[in-house]
Structure 1
Amino acid sequence: MSLLKFESMLKTNAVYFFDLVEFEEIIVHYLDAGKHALAKKAVKLGLQQHPASVDLKLLQVEIYVFEDELDKASMLLKIIERLEPNNDEVFIQKATISSKQGNHKEAIELLKKALTFTDDKVDVWSLLGMEYLYLDDFKNARLTFIKCVHVDFEDYSALYNVVYCFDMEQEHDAAITYLNAYVDINPYCEVAWHQLGRQYFILEKYKKALNAFDYAVIIDESFIGGYLEKAKTLEQLGSYKEAIDNYLITLELDDATAFVYLRVGECHEKLLNFDKAISFYKKAVHEDPLLDKGWMLLTNLYYLEENYQKAAYYISKALKIEEDNSLYWRQYAEINLKLNFYEEAVTGFEKCLDLNDDSLEIFIGLADVLSFLGEFNDALNTLIKAQKVYKNAAEIAYRLSGLFFILNKEKYGFDHLIAALKIDYDYNIVLKELYPIVYDNKKVQKLLVDFKKAME
């Protein structure tokens, strides 16, 4: 009633009298609703009618803090503190200002002082816990939030923060002990069962995790988070059909998400239902076109099915989103090799090296394609770079030998061939496969025979 009266007054420019309690209710309502301009007007009018009210002054401080007028807030707090030196709200607001200025240790001391004056300790503990979190002091934060939960077992925000602290401390066994004690007291709390399941999942105790998630969704049949975690756990247990069923329940309960479509697709892929997997991957990228993982999963499936044209199309989609991913460029190169697009394959391998992916397979792949294209000097330079990283790799030594022979540098060819034979004699088959002319060379054949006899 007082709210309607106040808003009527604003429309008519009339001035009505409100008692102190009415003003406080009006201001708090506007602050909670995020209507700070109206709260500001109410505070101004309230202080005109009740200039001595400390509670209204404190609400004025709250508005100053919200508007980042921290100096004004601090000055007004000094005045209030002189009037009421034991007012807990003064120290809470001081702590809020210190926190906004990044002085979290100071904020903690102020909140501790507020605790000595307040009867409502839970709200102060909650603020204190957050200050500890700002300092990454997870132990004290956890102990503080536990106090909040002890007073109100349905303070799920504090419960989440307790578990978050256990997570950050990597104290998962301790979290399980705490949550089991909690559900003994509050057994119908789906949030607690959900968090308990998460802890078991992290420790790879999947059957216990599944049991906890089952309780969560039994308590609340519309608990989307419970179904998601249950589905993920079923995947870990290899129960892909049941996992799909639980993922699909989340689609019935809420709007579709690319994540769920992706997970369903991967479950179908593991069940070898490739057509269904592709269907769900396409739904995922339709839902989120910037989901590069979705494009890659499509790429991989079409590659497995030897549909290299479509694989090439989808890998290009992934690369447009994340062009600095060497794994994508490696796949790009492999696909183009299958399509006999050798120049594109070279580009793919070179991009990998530019992105510091200097694995042996990349060097070898690039060198072999360059050799096939007749770019023997470029292939040679690639292998020389590779040998600096992989000093005793037979794969490199045999290729260097073959290239030196092709470039009519026979001495270097024999030097590298001998080095290669010492590393792995049997691997000389690569010379036959890649450089048959060199392999059939009589001098090379004699060296292979002589070397084999010497080994015997």
Structure 2
Amino acid sequence: MEEEYEEFSQEQINELVERFEASIKETNSAYFDVEEFEEIIDYYDVTHDTKRLNIALKTASSIHPNHSFFKLKEAQRQMSSKRYSIAISILNDILEIEPENYMALQTLAFTYSNMGNHQRSLEIHLRTLALTSDLKDVYMNVAYEYESLHDYDKAVVYLKKILENDHEDEGALYEILFCYEVSKNMDESVKFFSNFVDDHPYSQTAWFNLGITYSNLELYEKAIDAYDYTLAIDEGFSSAYFNKANALININKYKEAIDNFNDTFIYEEPDSTTHMYIGQCYENLDNRDAAIKHYYKAIEINDKLPEAYVNIALLYFNIENYSKALPMIKLALEISPDNVDFKYILGDIIAEMEDYETAAGVYIDIAEADPDNKEVYFDLAGIYWNMGNKEDAFAILEKGIEVSKINYRNYVRLAEFYYELGDKNMSLNYISVACNSNMEGCLELISGITHLMEDEAVRELIDLKK
């Protein structure tokens, strides 16, 4: 009769490790049996003591040269170090003697997967199905390899096999949602999770995934219902409050969204992202002070969040409080110095402060960093014009038109300049070109240029173009 293996206690493991390390120092050949070496090697593996792990593996292999466990551990170590060819060679040696060694085959599959050879990894994982009664891990590994091969339908087949044996397996449920999302098969996702909650109505994970699916389909009311079912099952499911709040934002229910965002703080630590969303909700409710308060709360939690500084800067910019907007956008740029959008906001703020030379420098930097930017030429031309540099203003607009011949904004700016120079015919010509390019945008832009809109000829041309 085979002797039953007893697990070592932590105290016994510590004594083994001490005895092994003493034998290394004294360079004596203390004997440890296979089970003892397994515990020693696992200890060094878990504690990431690579040096002693190597010594233990070499010593164990020399004392017990025919035991595959030590070879397997060495192969796993080589795989972790990305020495894949060595790992494969060791594993093949094991499999030559023990062709049905489950752990060796699994490690070989992982090695090929790490090398990017997912087809070979898949084939090996499928071989292991006949070698174990614990099929869950194999099914999951097979699903992962099918995902890596972009065969999401087959991945779902194996994930469903996991759920046949354990319908509460959250990992399989989330992975199925992932497959449907990546393959953009949301209709099938609705069908699957709807059927699943019919069969298992207390699965909060399935209800949650159904909510995500409905949100992806922009069916926000149905998504909210699904999240409510999730929370009825588990009131502490903070992600459900968060997702429900986002769905409420999409149907303009900002007050309810704020309530749900705040509910997340009951069950988990407040985070900067949630405060950002709350701030945006208050912006939509025209509550500027509350919005700024939550953006500052986001900064208190994460002072490296540039979007929070930007949002505060824009709120001040919109009420023409440029002296408060300027330092905030500068702080954002300290965090993300290459962000073109942030630089653009900086240029706009400085331009409104009538520091035209500095604003021009900012816009020039943007044009040099992003020459295909269609908007910067319009603004830079306006700065040059305000500085009295009319020649450069026309030149930069010509460059802008080279970048985009259909950008109506540059043509409207040319019309504005020619009108101010007294050349009404050229002005009307460019208004005509702008209207042909984008009638709606042209009307919106010209409506803000008072001296153009007050001109009867301009109004008649626009009426004709409508």
1:235 equivalenced with 2:249 (yes/no): yes
Moved more, 296-305 or 40-49: 40-49
User: Aligned-pair distance for 1:333?
Assistant: 3.2
1:416 equivalenced with 2:426 (yes/no): yes
| TM-score (structure 2 length as normaliser) | 0.78
Residue pairs, 1:284-433, within 5 angstroms: 284-354=298-368, 355-356=370-371, 358-359=373-374, 362-388=376-402, 389-390=404-405, 395-399=412-416, 401=418, 416=426, 419-420=429-430, 433=451
Say how many residue pairs are matched: 433
CA contact (8 A) 1:302 1:310 kept: yes
Residue pairs, 1:16-415, within 5 angstroms: 20=35, 52-55=66-69, 57-354=71-368, 355-356=370-371, 358-359=373-374, 362-388=376-402, 389-390=404-405, 395-399=412-416, 401=418
- Output one character per residue of 1:42-90: Cα deviation in whole Å (capped at 9) or x when no partner: 7667667765444555445434433445455434433432333233333
- Partner SS for 1:2: coil
Residue identity matched to 2:95: E
Partner of 1:409: none
- Partner SS for 1:164: helix
User: Aligned-pair distance for 1:197?
Assistant: 0.9
Residue identity matched to 1:398: A
Residues 386, 57 of structure 1: alpha-carbon distance in 2 compared, 3 angstrom cutoff: closer
Residues 196, 387 of structure 1: alpha-carbon distance in 2 compared, 3 angstrom cutoff: closer
Distance 1:369 1:313 in 2: 21
User: Aligned-pair distance for 1:275?
Assistant: 0.9
Distance 2:364 2:448 in 1: 23
CA contact (8 A) 1:228 1:246 kept: yes
Moved more, 231-240 or 24-33: 24-33
CA contact (8 A) 1:350 1:366 kept: yes
Structure 1 runs not aligned, ≥5 long: 406-412, 440-444
CA contact (8 A) 1:89 1:114 kept: no
CA contact (8 A) 1:235 1:243 kept: yes
Residues 10, 300 of structure 1: alpha-carbon distance in 2 compared, 3 angstrom cutoff: closer
- Partner SS for 1:313: helix
Which structure has the greater CA radius of gyration?
A: 1
- Output one character per residue of 1:184-209: Cα deviation in whole Å (capped at 9) or x when no partner: 33332322222111111111111111
Partner of 1:410: none
User: Aligned-pair distance for 1:314?
Assistant: 1.6
Instruction: Give the RMSD, CA atoms, in angstroms.
Output: 3.8
- Partner SS for 1:116: helix
- Output one character per residue of 1:342-391: Cα deviation in whole Å (capped at 9) or x when no partner: 223323433443323644x6434333332222212212322333454447
Moved more, 118-127 or 202-211: 118-127
Residue identity matched to 1:416: M
User: Aligned-pair distance for 1:422?
Assistant: 6.5
Moved more, 164-173 or 52-61: 52-61
Kindly, what percent of the aligned residue pairs are identical? 28
Distance 2:180 2:141 in 1: 18
CA contact (8 A) 1:398 1:430 kept: no
Distance 1:104 1:270 in 2: 48
Residue identity matched to 1:230: K
1:8 equivalenced with 2:15 (yes/no): yes
Distance 2:65 2:411 in 1: 90
Residues 52, 187 of structure 1: alpha-carbon distance in 2 compared, 3 angstrom cutoff: farther
- Partner SS for 2:131: coil
| TM-score (structure 1 length as normaliser) | 0.80
